[in-house]
Amino acid sequence: MNCNMWIKASKTNFYRIVAKYVVLPKMKETHFEEVREQKIHYLKWRTACGSSYRASLSMTEGNLSLMIETIDEKNESPCCSFLLSSLNISDLIRRGMIKGIRHEHQLMKLKNTDLPYLS
């Protein structure tokens, strides 16, 4: 796959993807952050009972990963996380979130690729 591909996400389209897998508060109660240097997008939120969560969406060398983590409030580090394996990259392509595709064969490869399991 092309290493020049990247994800372009807005708060709205990232929120909608994460909402397929977990219950989220209202969008205005979440925080969206894009770290361009690392090419990672984050969506952070707290539940009514005070638990903190963070979803991250990234693409490295053509490999897509969507991780959802429970955050330990004391040291702000993940204490529990899981990688979603049912996310299909064609959904992101349809939403216009995959950029840098220059050739039709790259698009066809991506449409037939599912997110691999965390090993």
For 1-43, what is each residue's pLDDT tens digit? 445 666 788 899 999 989 988 899 999 999 999 887 777 899 9
Helix or strand run (H / E) with residue 15: helix 11-18
**Which comes out higher in pLDDT, residue 5 or 117?**
5
SS3 state at 19? coil
When divided into structural domains, the chain yields a total of: 1
What per-residue confidence (pLDDT) applies to 115? 41
User: Does 116 reside within a domain?
Assistant: no
User: Does 119 reside within a domain?
Assistant: no
Q: What letter does residue 38 receive in the DSSP assignment?
A: T
- Average pLDDT across the chain, whole number: 75
| Count of Cβ atoms closer than 10 Å to residue 75 Cβ | 8
Helix then strand count (H, E) for the chain reads 3, 7
User: Does 118 reside within a domain?
Assistant: no
pTM metric for this prediction:
0.70
Q: Are strands 6-7 and 98-99 parallel, antiparallel or unpaired?
A: antiparallel
Supply the range of the domain harboring residue 103: 6-111
User: Does 117 reside within a domain?
Assistant: no
User: Does 69 reside within a domain?
Assistant: yes
User: Does 1 reside within a domain?
Assistant: no
User: Does 33 reside within a domain?
Assistant: yes
User: Does 78 reside within a domain?
Assistant: yes
What distance in Å separates the CA atoms of residue 47 and residue 110, rounded to the nearest whole number?
Answer: 34
Give mean pLDDT, residues 41-55.
90
